[in-house]
Amino acid sequence: MLYIARRLKKITFSFFFKIKYLKRNIIFQFGSVIDNKCELEGYNSIGENSQLISCSLGRGTYVGRNSELNKIKIGRFCSFGSFITNTTGNHPTKKFVSTHPAFFSEGKAAGFTFMKETIFTELKFVNNEYLVSVGNDVWVGDHVIILDGITIGDGAIIGSGSVVTKDIEPYTINVGIPTRIISKRFSDDDIEFLLNYKWWDEDWNWIESHSLLFNNICKLRELKRPK
């Protein structure tokens, strides 16, 4: 009953946070929750029972159902599947006798601590605000776990069930526990072209009018950029 009450409270507060997005073409599926620190650029969709805390979503990005994301900055036109989470917190694995936070953190994770000050960095931020930074046009499959302090490059793909423990290079396909690169999506020349082109920064009307060219990179390469 306590869990249900807390969940209902979150959903109620979330409703008021969603009001400011009424004119940004954003779909909030049933049971989805955001907090007042989330920033959604527009044309987004948040799946059923997904929870976003202090996250930033670029234009066109969507998140599937039952995902829990905390302090993640996600670029434009990203596809996040279902049951995706990111971890928040590290424990020492060497030199320290114990991995329990009572021996390295002043925070009382278990309700107590032996430390008067924190002597081990628990959270790894990619900047002062976000634990994870995701580029543009990134596809993340279902049941993926992303550790903190991770940067995922533009155009990358992360296969279902993967655990991301290190930075992901742009336009690579990655799978496994931990993730490893199995191939690149394009030639090095094409990747350099896309990273410089940054089509996701064009206005919405331009992208829509040229969308039929996106089924073949050769077509996009032949297109002259607007002045």
pLDDT digits (tens, 9 = 90+) for 108-142: 989 999 999 999 988 899 988 999 999 999 999 99
Query: Is 115 part of a structural domain of the chain?
Result: no
Say whether both 224 and 130 belong to one domain: no
pLDDT at 3: 52
Say whether both 141 and 48 belong to one domain: yes
Q: Which amino acid is at 198?
A: K
Percent with pLDDT over 90 in the chain: 82
Say whether both 58 and 134 belong to one domain: yes
- pLDDT higher than 80, residue 14: no
Query: Is 100 part of a structural domain of the chain?
Result: no
**What is the rounded distance in angstroms from the CA atom of residue 138 to the CA atom of residue 169?**
11
Indicate the burial class of 165 (C-beta count within 10 angstroms; 0-12, 13-18, 19 or more).
Answer: middle
Query: What is the model's pTM?
Result: 0.89
* Tally of structural domains, the chain: 2
Which has more confidence, 5 or 83? 83
Say whether both 84 and 11 belong to one domain: yes
- pLDDT higher than 70, residue 1: no
Say whether both 131 and 210 belong to one domain: no
**Domain assignment of residue 204, given as a range:** 188-227
Asked about 143 being catalytic, the answer comes back as no
Element spanning 62, H or E = strand 62-63
- pLDDT higher than 90, residue 26: yes
**Which residues are registered as beta bridge partners of 164?**
146
Query: Is 101 part of a structural domain of the chain?
Result: no
**What is the rounded distance in angstroms from the CA atom of residue 74 to the CA atom of residue 65?**
17
Cis peptide before 178 (omega within 30 of 0): yes
pLDDT at 21: 82
**What is the rounded distance in angstroms from the CA atom of residue 201 to the CA atom of residue 114?**
50
Say whether both 129 and 206 belong to one domain: no
pLDDT at 7: 59
- Max distance between CA atoms of the chain, in angstroms, equals 64
**Residue 12 pLDDT grade (very low, low, confident, very high; cuts 50, 70, 90):** low
Q: Which amino acid is at 53?
A: I
Which has more confidence, 170 or 9? 170
Query: Is 211 part of a structural domain of the chain?
Result: yes
Say whether both 82 and 135 belong to one domain: yes
